Homo-oligomer: A and B are copies of this chain.
């Protein structure tokens, strides 16, 4: 288990030592805090939480998505998601319409008010991310994404890639 840093193939594998990997783990931990900090601050003033942010983000991203679809992306139980959706619908931020071809499905859209909230939250999060991108430069960003993509569970990577390739 413990790798002390000896190259074991032809190339230098110093970046795979336990120490290097541990630093990466701590970087993920601290960075994720920054990643959520700005939207969290906004949400705290509005009686919503991170779960609402996630729902609004992905409804914005895939308008008309069904509840089941959203469930798969978010990776939570329907009871948990339902609690969040219920408040968003009651507050008029999300609309739920019965499916036309399959009436069992509910298609979710953001209302104007929902889109406004989404924009407010995303702007805050994007600003920080864009600053980080700018500070690090394009090559670093490419590496950043490569490592993150390699870190995902296979199922999630499929979800992610499908989304990514919708517009990119």
Interface of A toward B, CB cutoff 8 Å: 1, 12, 15-16, 18-35, 37, 54, 61, 75, 122-123, 125-126, 128-153, 156-157, 159-160, 163-164, 167-168
Contacts and interface: CB of A to CB of B under 8 A. Distances in A.
B18 A160 contact: no
A166 to B, nearest CB: 10
Contacts of A147: 31, 132-133, 136, 140-141, 143-144
A30 B150 CA distance: 11
A54 B25 CA distance: 11
B151 A132 contact: yes
Contacts of A141: 15, 20, 24, 143, 147
A31 B149 contact: yes
A58 to B, nearest CB: 9
A25 B148 contact: no
A30 B159 contact: yes
A126 B126 CA distance: 29
B32 A28 contact: yes
A155 to B, nearest CB: 10
B32 A32 contact: yes
Contacts of A137: 146
A150 B123 contact: no
28 contacts: A15-B141, A16-B134, A19-B167, A20-B141, A22-B122, A23-B163, A24-B129, A25-B35, A26-B160, A27-B144, A28-B32, A28-B35, A30-B157, A30-B160, A31-B147, A31-B148, A31-B149, A31-B151, A34-B153, A128-B151, A132-B151, A135-B146, A135-B150, A136-B147, A136-B150, A140-B146, A141-B147, A142-B143
